[in-house]
Amino acid sequence: MVESSSPKLAHQILDCIGLYCPMPVLKTREKMDEIAIGEILEVLADDPAAEPDLKAWAKRTGQKVLKIDKTSEGLRILIEKIQ
């Protein structure tokens, strides 16, 4: 579920601009393994498949998508590590 709450500050930023499927998901998984439970990862991506792929990955792995912003450069996705 995507919540439209107020923006939260990310603890880490992952730049996936220029990377295409499956790299944004693979890089996100690697970075999420490095951060602590409760921390937020900001993923920047311009792959059109990144939004549905990362939503599905978060749901499957029990993480929480906090916010998705569409910018002129692509997507800004905030994901909280839940487990």
SS (H, E, C) 13-82: EEEECCCCCCHHHHHHHHHHHHCCCCCEEEEEECCCCHHHHHHHHHHHHCCEEEEEEECCCCEEEEEECC
Instruction: Catalytic residue, from 21, 26, 49, 82: name it.
Output: 21
Catalytic annotation present for 21: yes
Catalytic residues: 21
